[in-house]
Every structure is written in structure tokens, then in C-alpha cells.
């Protein structure tokens, strides 16, 4: 049984061209899958569908064989955690309180229980946030807030994580740490789907690339195959180049 199955999925907003058209893909094991494409390609719409926030116009999405749209909301949230692009501002909570919001799908009363606290502690450890204990969320940097939101998703104990441009406003150090965290999560058994415009980091860290263009999945493969320079130039309308360093490391650049 596949971990995630997307079959012939399309989605249209009223009065607009189709945001997704006939997308089909299957995931059978934990991976880091980078979802790339130009603005308006359908990347965020796809995550919304996988999170159960939008129903596809046609087609189906299944998690371990179960149709997403027919799943109980709490059950879905125990399997899929969605981290949107926008980081909330002026949140009047501590880091720990924000992380504990991940326990909402398990709510059994007004107060956290031992299972909730144990899940929070494990999330703090996995996201390497121990030194930020007790600090207000609003006082953290953008990169630190992003890691706290990832920790909240881990506290949710979902095996599928959906991240929408998590590195959009991060400096190189924080973005490198974020991708390292995502690969650690893959190694611990999570499926990570991450929308990104940072193709070089995706090429270095993702197992697989879903390249979208005009709502269609135009490539689904490992980085070297999915991100061929000719394919990327066709999608993004700018030249791309693969390079190899003296140490043998392969990396991607773009522009003339």
C-alpha cells in the first residue's frame, strides 16, 4: 500500500484557469520531495488539497489507501501536518505553548496530559530548540519561528509534513539548518513535501523533485533527472547550469 497516492487530480478556482490539471504521483516510502515551479504553478493549491483544506475538482488523493476527503478531520490531522508559508505575528505564547498547539487533534480536555507533554519534549529535541525554552514566540527570529512551527507539526505526531516555502525569509545559516532538519525527519520515517523556490538547496537535499508548470506535473524524478537544464529553462525561462566542484560535489546555478 502506498503512503500517499495522487490520481488524476485537478482543481479550479471559480472564473480562473485550472490551478492543477491531471496530477498523478505515488509515494511509497519516507522521502524529502521538493515541489518546485514558477509562481502560479499550483504548488500551494496542491498542499491545500493534501491537507484536506480544498477538495479536488476531480481525481482523488489517498493516504495509506484512505480517501482524504472522506477522513475524519482529527484523524487526518494525526496523519498530515500542514505548515503554511505565512508565519503568524504577535502570537502571545511561549515557544512551548506554540508547540503544544500540535496536540489539538488529540484534545481530551482543557489541559495537556502526560502524552502531550512527552510529545512536546520529543518535538523540542528533534527540532533542536532546547535553548529557547520559555522564550516568547514573538521574540524569536524568523528562522527560529520556522523551527518552532516545524516542532508544532512534529508534536502533532503526523508522519506526513507539508511545508509551504519554509525558507522564503531565512538567511543562509537558518535555511541550511532547516534543510538539515528536514532530511533528519526523513531519516526518522517522515514523508516531507516542501514547496520551494530554492532549487539549488532542493537539488542538494531532496530525494525527489515534483516540477509543476501551469498546473501540470512536468517532472517527477531525482534531482539530476527532474532538473535538467533544458527542462528548467522551459519552465522558468532562464538558463540553468549544473556544475561539479573539485571535491566532486554537484550543484545548480541559473542565469547567463
Contact residues for 153 (Cβ-Cβ < 8 A; gap 6+): 81, 82, 83, 102, 161
Residue 244 pairs in a beta bridge with: 250
Query: d(Cα 73, Cα 79) in Å, to the nearest integer?
Result: 10
57-73: pLDDT as tens digits: 999 999 999 999 999 99
Cell 518552532, residue located:
148
Query: Between 142-155 and 114-126, two packed helices, what is the crossing angle to 10 degrees?
Result: 140
pLDDT for the residue 111: 67
Q: What rounded mean pLDDT belongs to the chain?
A: 91
> Structural domains in the chain?
4-254 (3.40.50.300)
b or e along 183-205 (b: 16 or more beta carbons within 10 Å of the residue's beta carbon)?
eebbeeebbbbbbbebbebbbbb
Query: What are the CA-CA distances from residue 127 to residues 94, 152, 184 (Å)?
Result: 16, 10, 10
Is pTM beyond 0.95 here? no
Return the residue matching grid coordinates 516542532: 151
Helices (H) and strands (E) in the chain, counts: 9, 12
- For position 110, what pLDDT does the model report? 60
Instruction: Give CA 181 to chain center in angstroms.
Output: 12
pLDDT lower than 70: segments of the chain = 108-111
Hey, which residues does 212 pair with through a beta bridge?
217
Amino acid at each position: 500500500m502506498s503512503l500517499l497516492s495522487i490520481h488524476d487530480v485537478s482543481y479550479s478556482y471559480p472564473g480562473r484557469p485550472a490551478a492543477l490539471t491531471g496530477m498523478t504521483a505515488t509515494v511509497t516510502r519516507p522521502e524529502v520531495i521538493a515541489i518546485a515551479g514558477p509562481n502560479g504553478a499550483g504548488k500551494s493549491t496542491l498542499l491545500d488539497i493534501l491537507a484536506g483544506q480544498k477538495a479536488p475538482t476531480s481525481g482523488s488523493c489517498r493516504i495509506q489507501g484512505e480517501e482524504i476527503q472522506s477522513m475524519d478531520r482529527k484523524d487526518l490531522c494525526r496523519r498530515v501536518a500542514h505548515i503554511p508559508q505565512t508565519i503568524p505575528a504577535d502570537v502571545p505564547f511561549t515557544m512551548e505553548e506554540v508547540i503544544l498547539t500540535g496536540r489539538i487533534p488529540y484534545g481530551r480536555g482543557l489541559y495537556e496530559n502526560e502524552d502531550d507533554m512527552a510529545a512536546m519534549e520529543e518535538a523540542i529535541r528533534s527540532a533542536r530548540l532546547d535553548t529557547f525554552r520559555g522564550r516568547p514566540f514573538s521574540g524569536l527570529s524568523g528562522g527560529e519561528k520556522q523551527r518552532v512551527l516545524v516542532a508544532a507539526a512534529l508534536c502533532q505526531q503526523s508522519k506526513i509534513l507539508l511545508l509551504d516555502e519554509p525558507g522564503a525569509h531565512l538567511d543562509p545559516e537558518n535555511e541550511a539548518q532547516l534543510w538539515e532538519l528536514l532530511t533528519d525527519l526523513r531519516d526518522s520515517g517522515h514523508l516531507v513535501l516542501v514547496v520551494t523556490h530554492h532549487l539549488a538547496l532542493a537539488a542538494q537535499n531532496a530525494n525527489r523533485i515534483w516540477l509543476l508548470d501551469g498546473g501540470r506535473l512536468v517532472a517527477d524524478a531525482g534531482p539530476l533527472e527532474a532538473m535538467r537544464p533544458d527542462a528548467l529553462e522551459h519552465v522558468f525561462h532562464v538558463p540553468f547550469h549544473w556544475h561539479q566542484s573539485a571535491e566532486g560535489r554537484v550543484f545548480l546555478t541559473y542565469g547567463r
